[in-house]
Structure 1
Amino acid sequence: MRIPQIRLESTKAQIGLKTINAVNNIKQPKADLSIEQPKAELTIRTTPSKLTIDQTQARADVDLKSVVKRMEEFSQKGYQDLLAGIARRAQQGIELMKIENGGNPIATQAKQNSQKPMKEFGLGFIPSHGSVKISYEPARVDIEVAPNKPKIHVNVNKPIMEYEPGKVEVSLKQKNELNIDFEMIDIKA
């Protein structure tokens, strides 16, 4: 006997997905930086040194005196000699007034007035020690430094951002299909 047979053949639908990734580019430009260092302010003040040499006493020791000093010494010596002469004559006058007391004042006075006194000899150093006076004031240096702070200028640059969003493309890769077929089959009963 012949029986009709239905044959069904189906094919599933297939979806195709195509993904495009997002692109994100970030660039960070360097900051603009400028640094300026002003020079420090330097002040130097110098007081010169001072050397003083006083050789007045040394020159006097070797008999190199000024005219004024010599005149002063001569006038002083003359005055002292005058006083000594007055005192000697007064003493001798008193001795002569008292001639009756004895002794021989005339001969004694004649001997004193005719003889010069003995000169004294002494050993000494010319010029004498310490006769040259030296004084010294050293130089002074005052240094003042005023530092200046650096001048820093910074300009920050913003980042450059580029963004492309991602996509998903959906497509039908294969259509669904249904095939129906009729066939007659012989069945033996």
Structure 2
Amino acid sequence: MLFPQIRLRSTFAQTELQIEKPIQEIQQPNAEMTMEQPKAELTMERIPSRLTIDQTQAREDMDLKSVGRRIEEAAQLGYQNWLAGLARVAQDGNEMMRIENGGGAIVRQAKRNSEGPPKEFNIGWIPSHFSVKIDYEPGSVDIQWQVRRPVVDVEVKKPIHQYIPGFTQVNLANYNSINIDFENLRHVGTGGYEQKI
């Protein structure tokens, strides 16, 4: 016995894509930079320290005197001796004027002129204390500076950008279809009529 059959065959529609990729180019030129560093200015003013040592008195205490000092002392000593001699001669003259009064003026003058002054001795330091004079003036340093800032000049370069957009084209490669087929299909009518479809 043959059963009727309906056969369906269908195909799906197929699309076709044509794609053009986008193109992008970016170039970044280097920036230009110039830098200049001016020199700093530095000024220094220095006053040197001063140390003075005067050992004149210490050298005189050790009898190491300069010629000028020796001449000055000799002149002073001569003047004092002259004044002392003048006073002594005047005193002796006054005593001799009164010789008639007695009293032994000649004996006293002879004794005075023959004997020197009494000798004195004491502890001494050569050179004497604080005979070296020291004077110190400290120095100073004045420093002035002026800082110079760097001069920086930067020229920025914009990027070079090229862009070609892409696109997509959609086409229908195959259309959809349906095919219907009948097998063993019959129509039976009245009166024994039969027809194959």
TM-score normalised to structure 2 length: 0.68
Residue equivalent to 2:77: 77
Q: Which moved more, 1:75-84 or 1:28-37?
A: 28-37
* Corresponding position: 1:121 with 2:121: yes
Letter in 2 for 1:66: S
Q: Distance in 1 between matches of 2:63 and 2:124?
A: 14
Give the superposition deviation at 1:134.
2.8
- String of CA shifts for 1:13-37, please: whole Å, max 9, x gaps: 7765555464444444443334343
Structure 2, unaligned stretches of length 5 or more?
1-9, 180-185, 191-197
- String of CA shifts for 1:70-93, please: whole Å, max 9, x gaps: 222112111111111222222233
Letter in 2 for 1:159: P
Q: What SS does the aligned partner of 2:163 have?
A: strand
Identical positions, percent: 54
* Corresponding position: 1:162 with 2:162: yes
Classify 1:53/1:12 alpha carbon distance in 2 versus 1 (closer, same or farther; 3 Å).
Answer: closer
Q: Distance in 2 between matches of 1:86 and 1:178?
A: 172
Give the superposition deviation at 1:156.
0.8
Classify 1:96/1:166 alpha carbon distance in 2 versus 1 (closer, same or farther; 3 Å).
Answer: same
Aligned positions, number: 179
Residue equivalent to 1:90: 90
Structure 1, unaligned stretches of length 5 or more?
1-9, 180-184
Q: Write the mapping of 1:136-155 to structure 2, written as runs, cut at 5 A.
A: 136-155=136-155
Residue equivalent to 1:188: 189
TM-score normalised to structure 1 length: 0.71
Taking only aligned residues, the RMSD between alpha carbons, in angstroms, comes to 3.5
Residue equivalent to 2:194: none
Q: Distance in 2 between matches of 1:105 and 1:11?
A: 180
